[in-house]
Amino acid sequence: MFVLYKTPVIKLCFCLVLRSAPPTSKFFSVKGTANVQYSISPTPRDTSHLSPIPLTENSVLLISRDHATVLRSEPVSGKAVCDQQAFCNAELSLDVDADRDGIVEKNNPNKGSWKWGPDGHGAILLVNCDSEKTYKKTPDSEEKNIYKVSDLKDMSVMVLRTKGPGKLPEGYKLTMHISQGDAESVRVFRNRSTEVPNSGLYYPLVLSSDVLSKEVPYLGGVAEMNFYVEGLRFPDKDFNGLVTINLSLLEPISDGLPETPIFTDKVVFKVAPWIMTPNTLRPVEVFVCSTSDNYQFLKGMRNLVAKSGYKLNICHEYVNRGDRWMQDELEFGYIDSPHHRFPVVLDSPRDGDLANFPYDELLGPDFGYVTRVALDEHVSSLDSFGNLEVSPPVTVNGKKYPLGRIIIGVAFPTATKGRNMTKVVQDFLWAQKVQEPIALFSDWLLVGHVDEFMTFVPAPDRKGFRLLLASPDAGYKLFRGLQNSGHGQATLFDGRPVFICSRHILFFFFQSCIDWNRDVLKRELGLDDEDIIDLPILFKLVEDENEYRAVAYYPDMVNMIVLGKNLGIPKPFGPKVNGRCALEAEMCSLMEGLGLKCTFIDDYSSYHQLLGEVHCGSNVRREPFEFKWWNLEM
């Protein structure tokens, strides 16, 4: 910008060679008050008011003024028209970490857009969903003010950089503004060094849902001012995660008329998605509940977790109030940016007696919380998060999913009735984009969870994992083999002989349900038969509200906890052959070839008889992926 002040001389001429315009500039325009004259060389073809004028290396702007006086100043401004509109003389820019290296660089030409991929660009914003408080907690995004300086690390830094005159001409002002559409998704605070008694540093709120536009200080000279940008909500069906923040320099025109923007700049952020972690990632800590009747289960879990070298967190009965289904209440994930990341728990809509645990016990400094409430939908068992899993990274027909794919269970696609995961949860999962969901058929099961018939374990070869599937067919073959080898009278957990089990289980129907899911998983995860291991698990039919659905006949070994190379598996209490459980022997044979160790945990009375198993009653928080989600090629 060029400002010409009246001085006590007869005539003042000012010649500008427009070589200081930004490198991407292609055009410029000029305007001034009536008493200021200007000429342009070479003479443009179109001389209409404010028409864009082609900018070349030889462009020259000559400004002159007759009868100058010191009564007041009158400005003339030049504006270069380019991708990042900026003044040709003074420097003014709103800057963010557009190249995603953790540093706010100066006037990145790509700061006003967002692009996926390793060669992409655009700043990243975290939802400030943790709580700096440990007492009377609320997520920081719901606090009116910045509670602690430590909260700033959860926000993205945005810098206003200036290089120019000591102050703006009279009537000019610098404003920051957002759209009404973005106002529910972002807030902006600014840095101020003023000390407020008994409250430490004070960070004034600049933009919010109540304040869409606000004047910001122009510091003058060469200066920088930090702003702190806070995400308020995750991507969802009605929000793609992109927010734009604008900066404008406004020029007064006349009393009664609105100011005119003579400079604009903008930056674009994308809100980081919530990301799940598969069984193949390193565990950090394990969560279980203590109840009056699960001593044997807890004993087995303590031994397993201690042997594996991880931390065990026990939610005691005065907190869980008898609700033992830790997996069903919540799912652990995380959010990530170039400057910070932290775990975030997704609270399910099931809201059993563990309903308050995620908020009251997990929410805290650098531990976020998010939930989705089904206001107008029926919440069923399929909304529990035993029905929410994620695969390890896969490549499908050349398309890479380096963060894996989310897996949920629903009713059969052609069913006219049936149970489904609520739409509000499904919409949330799909909107995260980075772990494209797969829907399986799980409504054939009484509880209806995908973890009743599938899981993933690490492997040293092929794709780095195996998919384990419950297989009534494998169970039938195992028991038929025992019967044919003279062990037909060996008894199961309930004293029934092997041959009764093999004759009376409707394994053909159950196997057809699993085979349908098997085909979906092979197609959607790019798996071969060699990537899948069938586990000998039988089911039986039980009546549920005049309908028949399936439950595991004996403890469901696929419903396990995976802690690195150690597997915590429901003890199946199968028939003993030569003093050893035939089911345990088969399981060990299948897993030990992958370098995995099996620990069988007694959950029969405290979980299996209540229609759950080891995985249902536990939960694992894991390390995040090394891969950065913004490097996905979408």
User: CA 251 to CA 74: how far, in whole Å?
Assistant: 11
pLDDT value at residue 547? 85
The catalytic residue among 97, 130, 451, 556 is 451
**How confident is the model over 396-406, as a mean pLDDT?**
97
Q: Band of the pLDDT at 485, cuts 50, 70, 90?
A: confident
| pLDDT value of residue 195 | 45
Q: Residue type for 629, please?
A: W
154 labelled catalytic:
no
Q: How far is CA 358 from CA 10, 315, 364, 561, in A?
A: 76, 11, 10, 20
Catalytic (active site) residue 501: no
- DSSP string computed for 42-60: SPPS--STT--EE--TT-E
Tell me the two tokens of residue 95. Answer: 């800057």
Q: Which domains does the chain have, with CATH numbers?
A: 1-86 (no CATH), 91-271 (2.60.40.1700), 275-631 (3.75.10.10)
pLDDT at 503 over 70: no
Instruction: Quick: pLDDT tens for 203-227.
Output: 999 999 999 999 999 988 899 999 9
Cβ-contact 216, 160 below 8 angstroms: yes
Lowest mean pLDDT segment, chosen from 394-403, 426-435, 495-504, 520-529: 495-504
Q: What does the pLDDT read at residue 508?
A: 81
Amino acid type, 238:
D
Helix axes 582-592, 472-482, angle to 10 degrees: 120
Rounded CA gap, 174 and 249, in Å? Answer: 5
Rounded Cα gap, residues 455 and 412, in angstroms: 20
Alpha carbons 553 and 503: distance in angstroms, whole number: 13
Per-residue pLDDT tens over the stretch 122-149: 999 999 999 999 888 999 999 988 878 8
Structure tokens at 513: 């349900």
Task: Indicate which residue of 177, 449, 487, 615 is catalytic.
Answer: 449
Enumerate the β-bridge partners of residue 470.
535
Instruction: Please report the sign of the dihedral spanned by the C-alpha atoms of residue 109, residue 115, residue 121, residue 124.
Output: positive
Beta-bridge partner residues of 164:
221
Q: pLDDT band for position 81 (50/70/90)?
A: very low
Task: Name the pLDDT band for 268 (thresholds 50, 70, 90).
Answer: very high
Q: How confident is the model at residue 531 (pLDDT cuts 50, 70, 90)?
A: very high
pLDDT at 84: 32
DSSP code of residue 320: H
* 43's tokens: 């003479």
Least confident window among 8-12, 123-127, 260-264, 586-590: 8-12
Burial 52-68 (b: 16+ CB within 10 A, else e): ebebeeebebebebeeb
Q: What is the pLDDT of residues 309-342, one digit of tens each?
A: 999 999 999 999 999 999 999 999 999 999 999 9
Beta strand 283-289 with 311-315 is parallel
Residue 231 pLDDT > 80, yes or no? yes
Please state, in angstroms and rounded to a whole number, the distance separating the CA atoms of residues 137 and 356: 12
**Catalytic residue, candidates 88, 315, 513, 616:** 616
Q: Are 527 and 464 in contact (CB under 8 A)?
A: no
Mean pLDDT of 233-255: 94
**What is the per-residue pLDDT for 49?**
53
User: Which of 328, 443, 534, 603 is the catalytic position?
Assistant: 328
Give, to the nearest 10 degrees, the angle between helix 472-482 and helix 507-525. Answer: 130
Residue 352 scores a pLDDT above 60: yes
Percent of the chain exceeding pLDDT 90 equals 70
pLDDT, average across residues 373-386: 93
Most confident of 70-84, 313-327, 473-487: 313-327
**pLDDT value at residue 488:** 67
Q: What is the pLDDT of residues 22-62, one digit of tens each?
A: 566 677 777 666 566 777 777 777 655 556 778 777 777 66
State the pLDDT at residue 88.
40
Give yes or no for residue 403 having a pLDDT over 80. yes
Phi-psi group of 482: left, alpha or beta (phi > 0 → left; psi -120 to 50 → alpha; rest → beta): alpha
CA dist 439 and 410 (Å) reads 6
Assess whether 451 carries a catalytic annotation.
Answer: yes
Tokens of 155: 């926000």
Residue 13 among the catalytic residues: no
Question: What is the average pLDDT score of the chain?
Answer: 87
- How far CA 502 is from CA of 15, 435, 471, 495, 513, in Å, comes to 97, 40, 13, 14, 18
Lateral strand order in the sheet of 454-458: 454-458, 465-471, 532-536
φ, ψ (nearest 5 deg) of residue 205: -75, 130
> Residue 31 and residue 29: Cα distance in Å, rounded?
7
Burial of 47 (0-12, 13-18, 19+ CB in 10 A): exposed
More confident residue, 223 or 73: 223
Where residue 5 falls among pLDDT bands split at 50, 70, 90?
very low
